[in-house]
Structure 1
Amino acid sequence: MSDSRTTGTGSAPPVPLKVVKLRHPWRNVFAVIIVLLLIAFVVDAATRPAYDWPAVGKYVFDRRITMAALITLQLTVYSMIGAIVLGVVLAIMRLSPNPVLKAIAWGFVWLFRGTPVYVQLVFWGLLATIYPTLDIGLPFLPPITQLPTDAALNTFWIAVIGLALNEAAYMSEIVRAGLLSVDRGQEEASTALGMSWAQTMRRVILPQSMRIIIPPTGNEVISMLKTTSLVTAVPFTQELYTRSRDISSETFNPIPLLIVASLWYLLFTSILMVGQYFLEKRFARGLTRIDAGAPVTTEAIQVQEAEARAKQSPADGESGERR
């Protein structure tokens, strides 16, 4: 006679399966080789005179470098704020039923995505040559006032405008993809509940689309941080890369200053990656995902079934009381 216990339904409990992991000896061999190569590179770099590590330590916290790093952050933040705001507007225009708005938004994206950002920054640097004055007034009428372009916009803000307009073309596509990822029925249900368009976007559409928008937006912020090194085309020379290059031209030792600039870029990128991780975690609440690489065992299935029964039991109790 079998002495196995039965559950309340009379069926025997499932027997846990013994999972045997597959052995991959070549993976371990390759891992060891890669680690040895990495150690060899680090040891060689630590002793190679061309890197000049004392000079790296001297300039990494130099006042000129730290001020340039702060300006680089300002360029990144201001440009991304403008790009996100304009990108949302362009995405809404692309989804609008108005053909004129759709055509204007499509033309903007086509132009700024189809030309290199360096070329665009060169054009923005020549803005004062193309438009010596900025006319303020109504179209086709004499201007109310005129401002010299050089006085109205310095090179810092010209760089911000150039970077923001280029990035807005990419952000509009990211936002549009996020908005299209939300089922159309969500908007129809919100309209049926009496919500306005603004309420529907703020409370229903945007919170759900943020799961799609945030990961590529985080990548674009990191990319923008590195793209600021191109504003020398404006020309704006106070950001991190150009400032470190100017110092290296004085010391005739470019490699340590390149390392210094890279260390600051890596620091900012690491901070942005951590922030992106927590943002993604924040907007992914309520979603469950099974790791594709994790083995599915009988114990894991039992745990999931127990959690499902625990969630259903209060509802079952309430329905029994109603009956």
Structure 2
Amino acid sequence: MSVTDSLLLSAPTGPSGSSGPPGPAQRVLPLRRPGRWTAAAIVLVLVSQAANGLLTNPFYQWDRFAYWFVRPVILEGLLITLQVAAYSAALGLAGGVLLALGRLSGNPVLRSVSWTYVWLFRSVPLIVVLLFLYNLSALYPTLSIGVPFGPAFFTFDESRLATDIVVAVVGLSLAEAAYAAEIVRAGVLSVDQGQHEAAAALGLPRRYQFARIVFPQALRSIVPSYVNQLIGLLKATSLVFYVSLLDLFGSVQSMASTYPGDVVPLLLVATVWYVILTSVVSVVQYYVERYYARGALRTLPPTPVQRARAGLRDLRARARKETAR
């Protein structure tokens, strides 16, 4: 017996015994997946045990956590973290775009300098960059602008310019630009070569080609990778504590040294605030990706609000059917 014959013999029959659609007394049974439900049950048990241990363990001191969570000293550190991250992200992305253009340039000098910059700052740890900038005044007490190997037109004291927040922003921006350059370069290279050729065939200037045709398409690849880098930058701001800037982590460390009995709840405060910040960035990433996907997808994926509304409509429809029965 062939496979086709076996399928015909096993086909559902109607009320008269002939093959055809199932009769009113027959119904289609859903495929049972016991392994999936078993795995889900195990995961729910483990998550419940972890949540129970987290909430009931007195070692975490949740009352002290609630006391410290919105204290002014914590909020002031949080504000500094946001300022440093925002300035560094903007300057780092701008520097990354310039470095990416340098690496893609046909000029060998620009290409070599950009490659050397990216290689150097991706090789040196961020804490080393911050500490070097923090002690830069010992190497260069004064800075000047003028003719190389000639007279100086402007001279100023480096220690007056290099405040703690400036050192933090400059150090993070220098390191961020090196990583952003590779992200932007990869995004530009992901654009189909035909787009470059079509723009060139229209006789458009190179700057216009990049700004209006190539870069908007490259953003579909740049945004997810750069947001991951931005989340890493948010967490990297905790290193500015070592250059005497009391950001969120620095404020927590300072309070923990003053109140040693509250070390664990203070660390939990910092952890929760970092989770909140990265969650906000992830939400923004979702909507930015959705915006730039308009030209690549036939139908945009629904937003969480739209999914919730669709779920409510399905529940109401099911409730009406049950009521009608």
Fold equivalence (TM over 0.5): yes
Distance in 1 (CA, whole Å) between partners of 2:152 and 2:30 is 78
Q: Does 1:79 align with 2:68?
A: no
Q: Are the counterparts in 1 of residues 195 and 214 from structure 2 also a CA contact under 8 Å?
A: yes
Superposed CA RMSD:
1.9
Cα displacement (A) at 1:19: 9.5
* Structure 2, unpaired ranges of 5+: 1-20, 22-26, 300-325
Q: Are the counterparts in 1 of residues 183 and 226 from structure 2 also a CA contact under 8 Å?
A: yes
Structure 1 vs Structure 2: percent identity of aligned residues? 40
Please identify, of 183-192 and 247-256, the stretch whose mean Cα deviation from structure 2 is larger: 183-192
Q: Are the counterparts in 2 of residues 159 and 236 from structure 1 also a CA contact under 8 Å?
A: no
Q: Are the counterparts in 1 of residues 241 and 249 from structure 2 also a CA contact under 8 Å?
A: no
Cα displacement (A) at 1:123: 1.1
User: Hey, what does 2:292 align to over in structure 1?
Assistant: 283
Specify the SS of the correspondent of 1:195. Answer: coil
Seen in structure 2, the aligned counterparts of structure 1 residues 22 and 125 have a Cα distance that, compared at 3 Å, is farther
| Letter aligned with residue 145 of structure 2 | I
Cα displacement (A) at 1:107: 0.4
Distance in 1 (CA, whole Å) between partners of 2:145 and 2:295 is 51
Q: Does 1:30 align with 2:30?
A: no
1:17-166 pair list within 5 angstroms: 23-166=32-175
Distance in 1 (CA, whole Å) between partners of 2:298 and 2:269 is 40
Cα displacement (A) at 1:140: 1.0
Q: Are the counterparts in 1 of residues 165 and 245 from structure 2 also a CA contact under 8 Å?
A: no
| Letter aligned with residue 65 of structure 1 | I
User: Hey, what does 2:209 align to over in structure 1?
Assistant: 200
| Selected match of 2:251 from 229, 243, 252 | 243
Cα displacement (A) at 1:100: 1.0
Distance in 2 (CA, whole Å) between partners of 1:237 and 1:86 is 24
Specify the SS of the correspondent of 1:219. Answer: helix
Tell me the matched-pair count.
Answer: 273
Seen in structure 2, the aligned counterparts of structure 1 residues 19 and 116 have a Cα distance that, compared at 3 Å, is farther
* Structure 1, unpaired ranges of 5+: 1-14, 291-323
1:297-316 pair list within 5 angstroms: none
Give a deviation string over 1:248-297, Cα, whole Å, max 9, x none. Answer: 1111121000011111111111110000000000000132389xxxxxxx
| Selected match of 2:197 from 173, 180, 188 | 188
| Letter aligned with residue 162 of structure 2 | L
Specify the SS of the correspondent of 2:295. Answer: coil
Cα displacement (A) at 1:20: 7.8
